[in-house]
Amino acid sequence: MILFDDEYFMQRALVMAETAAEAGEVPVGAVAVKDGEIIARSGNQVELLKDATAHAEILVITQAESALGDWRLDKVDIYVTKEPCAMCAGAMVNAHVRRVVYGMADPRSGAAGSALDVTGFKGMLWNVEVKPGVLEAECRALMQQFFRKVRKEKGS
């Protein structure tokens, strides 16, 4: 059995983020991994689905639960290119995700330790282990490139 590392799985999340960007979505991608295998993958689909909750993390949690036939993801790690927001971090807590590994921090609205710490809040019934900064430069570059393009197209 070949074991892959965090950078390998973050690269797969980056592919999903690039796909989201090509579709005009904010470039966030995520993969769910259990026992060294990807069991779910998604990019943001907010614009496509006209659904404010269609963040990559929410979609990947739903897919992973379906793949496992259980809502408990206590043996699942989620790799995501940007630090989860409060909604996504809360969903990870509720789904009992074992670990979230993210690329770039979001000091304004990140909820895995930057602006808030939903994943590690002591009052919760479950805490999600957090590993920040995996391929941070690559994740940040993709996000910056996307928003430069958006600003250019809007003429600002």
Catalytic residue numbers?
57
Q: What's the CA gap between 33 and 41, in Å, rounded?
A: 9
